[in-house]
Amino acid sequence: MNAAALRSWWGDSDYFSLLVKTAAPMALQNLVMSSLNLVSAIFLGQLGETALTGVGLANQLFFLLNLVLFGVMSGSSIFTAQLWGRGDVANIRRVLGLAVKLGTAVALLFAGLALLAPEMVLRFYTNDPQALALGARYLRIFGWSYLPFAFTFAYSAITRSTGNVRLPLVVSVTALSLNTILAWALIFGELGLPRMDSDGAALAALLSRLVECALMLGLVYRNPLNPAAAHLKDLLAFDLSFITRVIKPVLPVIANETLWSLGITTYNSIYAHIGTDSFAAMSMVSTIDQLAFVAFLGIGNAASIMVGNAIGQGDSEKAFRYGGYSLRVQFSGALLMGLLVAVFGSLFFRFYQVSPQVLANASQVLLVMGGGMAVRASNMVIVVGILRAGGDTRFSLVLDGLVIWLVGVPLAALGAYVFHLPIALVYLLAQTEELTKFVAGLWRYTSRRWIHNLAETL
């Protein structure tokens, strides 16, 4: 392959310039978030595996909320990216209003579960009385943050879709830095504050989410020309015709994320029922996974913006090329990162005060995770960066929302409950869904049937 062909295969200068400009701030935001989450997990790890498990299980409800909101905002961002491609600010603000209303409804539902029935939620994962008690106390504190988090999520998603990726970065870095300092102080009783153990982690997270929401809204509305600076009438308007046109492609994305998140939390329930040691190991590995995945989340979300903008400009060929370039960059980078994680990831485990069995389980799971990282990262680009950006939300629903239930969950359940396999092999069986999605997703990308200009429907 000569130099010209190689450049054509990997992308052009315009693509890489736009990729770096768009993906770098989002990757940095993810890096800060994952790094500080790792530090918080290490803080909790000093309290032992029961505290690590209890808080980890409690955060499964927030994980579900996060992914359902991601479905709402990701679906809304399909329109926003395409509308921004043709400079339609008025309709961007109308889409934001719908996203805020949907996000509020979802957040109130989850907050009700966290505040009123935390034990019922946690019994889906474990019957360990100590983990249940710790997790329930955590939810009764942190559950108050769900509604402000929904507002932050909506404004961040719309802001990023219009090319302003720095503002959400500043907000997240500020809030997460505050969370880390407060978590250290409140968990261990530093800076003159009372020692609250795992309850301190919940209070720190609540306070940082409130600051995050206030800062996001303040920075957005400081500039009236910001596309996300919607008026109150945009937020409260109820135009049934407009809602119907927007919600039709958005509903499959919401259903997709709901089904996928329920599948992931079912995996975690399976891991927890294998034993507290197994779930503690998965909690340790998940923080490393988040840290290793930061660049790939940035590339996936950047691909969504670039592909969506190209479709909004009426350039479907450019959208197809940018999707392909993003796939190649993602797969190659994740292949290298997976190798680094498999070889060096266990170095982080020395900071945890857990049993030798937990450490052994975590080391084995880490090898499986590193080996499958390239496929999982590529699926991020396929589902979020290509299919959804192109408005192909119904196929995405089948690919991402149903395959997990048809392939991954049944195999993981068989491994755990029928064959009583160790946690690493159960996790390996769960990863079969990723390989299935990868093969089907590549076929859909090459077919070009995913390209739809939704901006033209408004």
Quick check: 1 pLDDT over 70? Answer: no
Rounded CA separation 256/403 (Å): 10
What token pair was written down for 143? 């559950």
- State how far the Cα of 423 lies from the Cα of 160, in Å rounded to an integer: 38
Question: How confident is the model at residue 308, as a pLDDT?
Answer: 85
User: Of the spans 166-170, 196-200, 214-218, 355-359, which averages the highest pLDDT?
Assistant: 214-218
Q: Tell me how far apart the alpha carbons of residues 291 and 449 are, in angstroms, rounded to a whole number.
A: 34
pLDDT digits (tens, 9 = 90+) for 7-22: 555 567 788 888 888 8
Average pLDDT on 360-364 reads: 91
pLDDT band at 321 (very low <50, low <70, confident <90, very high): very high
- Residue position matching structure tokens 């590549």: 442
**10 Å Cβ neighbour count for 223?**
12
3-class SS of residue 123:
coil
**SS3 (DSSP) at 61:** helix
Residue the block writes with tokens 């927007």:
246
pLDDT of residue 431: 94
DSSP string, 344-408: HGGGGGGG----HHHHHHHHHHHHHHHHTHHHHHHHHIIIIIIIITTT-HHHHIIIIIIHIIIII
- How does DSSP classify residue 223? S
- List CB contacts of 55: < 8 A, sequence separation 6 or more: 44, 134, 135, 138, 198, 201, 202
Specify whether the CB–CB gap between 245 and 98 falls below 8 A.
no
d(CA 384, CA 319): 14
Both structure tokens of 340: 């680094």
pLDDT at 37: 62
In this predicted model, what pLDDT tens digit does every residue of 232-286 receive, in sequence order? 888 888 888 887 887 887 788 888 888 988 898 899 889 988 887 888 888 888 8
Return the amino acid letter for 220. Answer: V
Structure tokens, 397: 């629903």
Amino acid 385 reads: G
Residue of 139, 158, 150 lying closest to 108 (CA atoms):
150
Distances (CA, A) of 380 to 210, 214, 388, 456: 29, 30, 11, 26
At 372-415, the pLDDT tens digits run 999 999 999 999 889 988 889 889 989 998 999 999 999 999 99
Q: What is the pLDDT of residues 62-98, one digit of tens each?
A: 878 887 887 788 778 777 877 887 788 888 898 899 8
Could you report the per-residue pLDDT of 196-238, keeping only the tens digit for each? Answer: 888 888 899 899 999 999 999 999 999 888 888 888 888 888 8
Question: Per-residue pLDDT averaged across 150-176, rounded?
Answer: 87
| Per-residue pLDDT band at 52 (split at 50, 70, 90) | confident
CA 159, CA 73: separation in Å to the nearest integer? 11
> Number of helices (H) and strands (E), helices first, in the chain?
21, 0
Q: In the chain, what is the straight-line distance between the N-terminal and C-terminal CA atoms, in Å?
A: 45
The reported pLDDT for the residue numbered 152 is 93
* pLDDT tens digits, one per residue of 56-70: 778 888 878 887 887
Phi, psi at residue 164, to the nearest 5°? -95, 85
Q: Which of 343, 339, 345, 300 is nearest to 323 (CA)?
A: 300
Sign of CA dihedral 447, 374, 27, 45: positive
Arithmetic mean of pLDDT over the chain: 86
**Tens digit of pLDDT for each residue in 282-319?**
888 887 888 888 888 888 888 988 898 888 888 899 99
For 399-443, the DSSP string reads IIIIHIIIIIHHHHHIIIIIS---HHHHHHHHTHHHHHHHHHHHH
Read off the pLDDT band of 325 (50, 70, 90). very high
Angle at 209 between CA 172 and CA 151, to 5 degrees: 85
CA distance to 65, 108, 110, 111, per residue, from 116 (Å): 16, 12, 10, 8
For residue range 434-449, what is the model confidence (pLDDT) as tens digits?
999 999 999 999 999 9
Q: 14 exposed, middle or buried (CB, 10 Å; 0-12, 13-18, 19+)? A: exposed
DSSP class of 195: P
